[in-house]
Structure formats: structure tokens, C-alpha cells
């Protein structure tokens, strides 16, 4: 039986509890219930072969921001004369039912005709990029992630549905959705870039934005994610945006340490992607090549109209990438202090907040370990022995070798 190494100690953090009950929750719902990736991954799924033909159209959603109370968040003093008021609109995917499991491709041929298995990254994420939630799920249990990839995503529970509904509700407090059509994979990516541009402008103008998509090139791999919330500091001396992640819980308790560690990893990945962008680390040519995109593709009429109305008229995908780059160049790095919020699903009350410092060394170690698994450099590790309580809630427990070997009766 292969044992995974004990996780390295998480970075220093402080947790402020809002509930006297310190009982460790029994169900680690955050790991599977807080996937605010349904809308975003649906867009990535559209980049598959089904979109290589322009005969079919898909539906996405355009969101326009509403005014947010200036008493809660400080407006950025930077003047943005080139951006009209309409540029505060945001885009949010509204695709229908889409499989969130990557395409399983045929095994490649090795030397002398012997099949060579492709990495999980190549099999399942080549066309969409590695999601931040893929990193966090891997940290939770690599073997469980392997089962999910090969046998299907976890079942959609009431807790998952409630978590998604809450995130949509939080987003709609700031933005309003309207439909817009996409006709190609270039259009799908254009929508994501528009989301970022409009969300970043909203952050600079109003001091708050939510559900902001990110993409970055991390250690030779394209990685994507969606930040729950970004706030501008309320003090004059601070200008680094604060990244916030909201987790909803079935039980009115603060989560266990492995769950909090997993949430910290997620937010640190977002800061890593954010800081990479604002440092202008985005190889655009490699982006087009990696996702087989035509930079000179003429975007759909609706997208061109929306970009024009929003103050950054774009005809091609390359035009939007240029606006994308101009936008992130206006942004400072994210704040080193990150914030996790825990809400009770029943009444949306705040259970507690976990404020912690960014730890680049710890994060790089976690990402490197995860990429070794995804790139096929080693087999999947099992969750550490001291965290095997997770197995009680895993739907693959009965077929997992770690669980079977532990319960085998000696002969």
C-alpha cells in the first residue's frame, strides 16, 4: 500500500470563531460542495471538438454591475478615462447541462507499437486547463481525484446545490445577468476575457467585484480559477486588493483543520494567478497555440456589440487579449493577507473567518506535488493515515485499495 507523505505544516493563520461549538464536523462538504466552477467549467467544456464547427451556438450570460455602497469599500483614486460607465458590466456563463468530466482520449502509441498512457493532465485537462479546484481536490486525496476522473464526478447533493445557489446569490448582489450567444471556442474565451476586464474595472470603480475568472501559466501548465470576491482596502494607505473565499456549511461549526488547510491552498492559488497576471507573465502566443485558438477569428456580432458598448471595441480574439493585458497592467498585486469566510447554509449566518498570510514556499511545494500526480510522474498517493476519517465520506471507499487493505483479515 502506497502512503502519501504527511502534509507540510500550513502557513500561520488566525481563526475568529462566531460559534461556541468547536466540534469537528463529520462531513467535509467544502471540498465537493463549494465548486463554484459549474458555470466556468461549462465554458471550458465548450472548447472541445463539438465547437470546432460554427454550426451550433451556445448560450452564455452577460452581467451588468449594480451600484455598490461606497461607504463599505473605498473607491480607487485612479482615473480611468478610457472606460465608460457601461464598462462596469460583467459576463457570466449560462450554458445548459454540460458534462464537467474531461474527454478521455485514446492511448498514444509508443515505440514498437506499445501503447504509452497519457498523463491525467493530457487526458482530462488539455482542452480546458487545470482548475484551482483540481489542485485542492488533489491535496484532499489524490486517489479520490483519480477515481473521479476515471469514473465520473461526485453526485450532486443538496449541500452542493445550496452552495452553488448561495454563490449565485452573492454574485447577483453586485451584477445582473443577461444572455449573449457564442458560436465558437474563440467566443467562449472572449467571454472569459470580457468578464475579467469588466470585473477589474468594477473593482477599481466600486471597490468590489465577485466571481472573477483568472488564467495563468504555472510551472509550464495552464491553470484557471474563479475568485469568489475581491475587495479594495478601506484605508488610504492600502491599495492591494483583498481576495476572499466564502464556504457554506451544512453544520453550524467551524471546519476541521484539513478543510481549512484546503481552503487556504485555494486562496493562495488565486493570489499566485493574480500576481502572475499583474506582473505581465502571460505568454499570449503560447496561449493561442495550447488551446488551438485563432487569434484573428472575428468574434460573434453580440460580443462585438457588447465590447463596443462597454468601451473597448474588439473585432478579434487577439483584440480582446490586448485589452485583457492593458487591464491587468493597471492592477497591483493582491494583498498578502487572505480571507476565508464560513457561512451556515440554513440561515447564511457567519460562522467564522480565517485570516492568514500568503506563504509562497508552502504553496509552491503543494503545487509541485500536485503537478507530479497530474503529469504522470508518479502514482496517486492515498490520504495520510491520520486523515483517513475522510474515507468514511468517500463514495469510492469500498473499492479503494487503501481502504480494502486496511480491513483485510490476516490469514
Where is pLDDT greater, at 175 or 223?
223
Whole-angstrom CA distances from 403 to 385, 398, 406 are 11, 7, 5
Q: How many CB atoms lie within 10 A of CB 15?
A: 15
Range with lowest mean pLDDT among 4-18, 206-220, 226-240, 392-406: 4-18
Of the given ranges (121-130, 289-298, 399-408), which has the lowest mean pLDDT?
Answer: 399-408
Q: Quote the pLDDT of residue 393.
A: 87
What are the residues facing 60 on neighbouring strands? Answer: 180
CA–CA distances in Å: residue 355 to residues 13, 239, 260, 263, 342: 6, 18, 11, 11, 11
Average pLDDT, the chain: 76
In terms of DSSP H, where are the helices of 279-359?
Answer: 284-290, 301-309, 317-328
Q: Are 302 and 61 in contact (CB under 8 A)?
A: no
Tell me the C-alpha to C-alpha distance, in Å, between residue 336 and each of 274, 339, 359.
12, 10, 8
Of 29, 3, 20, 18, the C-alpha closest to 258 is 29
On the question of pLDDT at 365 being above 50, the answer is yes
CB 385 within 8 A of CB 3: yes
Whether 220 contacts 276, CB under 8 Å: no
Q: What is the pLDDT of residues 280-337, one digit of tens each?
A: 889 999 999 999 999 999 999 999 999 999 999 999 999 999 999 999 999 999 999 9
pLDDT at position 181 over 90: no
Whole-number pLDDT of residue 235: 83
Average pLDDT rounded to a whole number, residues 121-147: 95
Among the listed residues 13, 3, 2, 37, the one whose alpha carbon sits nearest the alpha carbon of residue 262: 13
Domains in the chain: boundaries: 60-95+125-405
3-state DSSP assignment of residue 399: helix
pLDDT at position 405, please? 58
CA–CA gap between residue 292 and residue 286 (Å, rounded): 10
pLDDT at 113 over 90: no
For the stretch 197-226, pLDDT in tens is 999 999 999 999 999 999 999 999 999 999
Question: Per-residue pLDDT tens for 53-82?
Answer: 333 344 444 443 332 333 333 333 333 333
Give the pLDDT of residue 99.
Answer: 30
Q: What is the separation of C-alpha 122 from the centre of its chain, rounded to a whole number of angstroms?
A: 19
Mean pLDDT of 242-263: 95
Give start and end residues of each alpha helix (H) in 84-131.
120-125
Whether residue 21 has pLDDT greater than 50: no
Position 129 confidence tier, pLDDT thresholds 50, 70, 90: very high
Residue 324: its H or E element:
helix 317-328
**Contacts (Cβ under 8 Å, ≥6 apart) of 321:** 193, 284, 287, 295
Q: What is the mean pLDDT of residues 32-48?
A: 35
Alpha-carbon torsion, ordered 253, 258, 261, 266, to 10 deg: -90
Report pLDDT for 407: 53
Instruction: Report residue 103's pLDDT band, with 50, 70 and 90 as the boundaries.
Output: very low
Ramachandran category for residue 169: left, alpha or beta (phi over 0 → left; psi -120 to 50 → alpha): alpha
Amino acid at each position: 500500500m502506497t502512503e502519501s507523505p504527511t502534509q507540510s505544516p500550513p502557513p500561520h493563520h488566525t481563526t475568529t470563531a462566531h460559534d461556541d461549538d468547536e466540534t469537528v464536523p463529520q462531513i467535509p462538504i467544502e471540498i465537493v460542495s463549494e465548486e463554484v466552477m459549474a458555470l466556468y467549467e461549462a465554458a471550458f467544456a465548450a472548447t472541445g471538438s463539438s465547437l470546432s464547427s460554427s454550426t451550433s451556438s451556445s448560450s452564455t450570460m452577460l452581467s451588468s454591475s449594480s451600484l455598490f455602497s461606497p461607504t463599505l469599500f473605498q473607491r480607487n483614486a485612479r482615473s480611468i478615462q478610457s472606460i465608460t460607465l457601461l464598462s462596469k458590466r460583467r459576463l457570466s456563463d449560462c450554458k445548459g447541462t454540460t458534462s464537467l468530466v474531461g474527454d478521455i482520449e485514446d492511448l498514444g502509441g509508443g515505440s514498437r507499437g506499445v501503447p504509452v498512457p497519457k498523463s491525467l493532465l493530457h487526458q482530462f485537462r488539455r482542452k480546458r486547463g487545470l482548475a484551482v479546484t483540481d489542485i485542492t481536490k488533489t491535496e484532499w486525496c489524490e486517489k479520490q481525484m483519480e477515481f473521479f476522473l476515471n469514473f465520473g464526478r461526485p453526485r450532486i447533493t443538496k449541500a452542493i446545490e445550496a452552495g452553488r445557489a448561495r454563490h449565485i446569490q452573492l454574485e447577483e448582489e453586485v451584477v445582473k445577468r443577461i444572455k449573449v450567444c457564442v458560436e465558437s471556442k474563440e467566443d467562449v474565451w472572449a467571454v472569459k476575457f470580457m468578464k475579467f476586464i469588466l470585473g477589474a474595472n468594477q473593482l477599481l470603480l466600486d471597490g468590489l467585484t465577485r466571481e472573477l475568472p483568472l488564467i495563468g501559466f504555472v510551472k509550464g501548465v495552464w491553470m484557471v480559477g474563479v475568485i469568489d470576491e475581491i475587495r479594495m482596502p478601506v484605508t488610504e494607505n492600502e491599495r492591494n486588493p483583498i481576495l476572499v473565499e466564502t464556504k457554506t456549511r451544512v453544520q453550524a461549526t467551524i471546519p476541521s483543520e484539513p478543510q481549512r488547510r484546503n481552503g487556504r491552498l485555494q486562496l493562495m492559488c488565486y493570489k499566485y494567478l493574480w500576481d502572475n497576471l499583474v506582473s505581465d507573465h502571460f505568454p499570449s502566443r503560447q496561449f493561442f497555440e495550447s488551446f488551438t485558438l485563432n487569434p484573428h477569428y472575428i468574434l460573434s456580432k453580440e460580443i462585438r456589440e457588447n465590447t463596443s458598448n462597454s468601451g473597448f471595441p474588439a473585432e478579434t480574439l487577439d483584440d480582446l487579449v490586448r485589452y485583457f493585458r492593458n487591464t491587468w497592467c493597471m492592477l497591483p498585486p493582491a494583498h498578502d493577507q487572505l480571507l476565508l469566510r464560513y457561512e451556515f447554509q440554513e440561515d447564511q449566518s457567519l460562522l467564522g473567518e480565517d485570516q492568514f498570510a500568503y506563504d509562497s514556499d508552502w504553496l509552491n511545494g503543494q503545487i509541485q506535488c500536485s503537478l507530479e500526480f497530474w503529469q504522470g510522474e508518479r502514482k496517486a498517493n492515498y490520504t495520510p493515515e491520520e486523515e483517513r476519517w475522510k474515507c468514511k465520506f468517500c463514495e469510492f471507499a469500498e473499492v479503494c485499495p487503501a481502504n480494502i487493505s486496511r480491513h483485510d483479515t490476516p490469514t
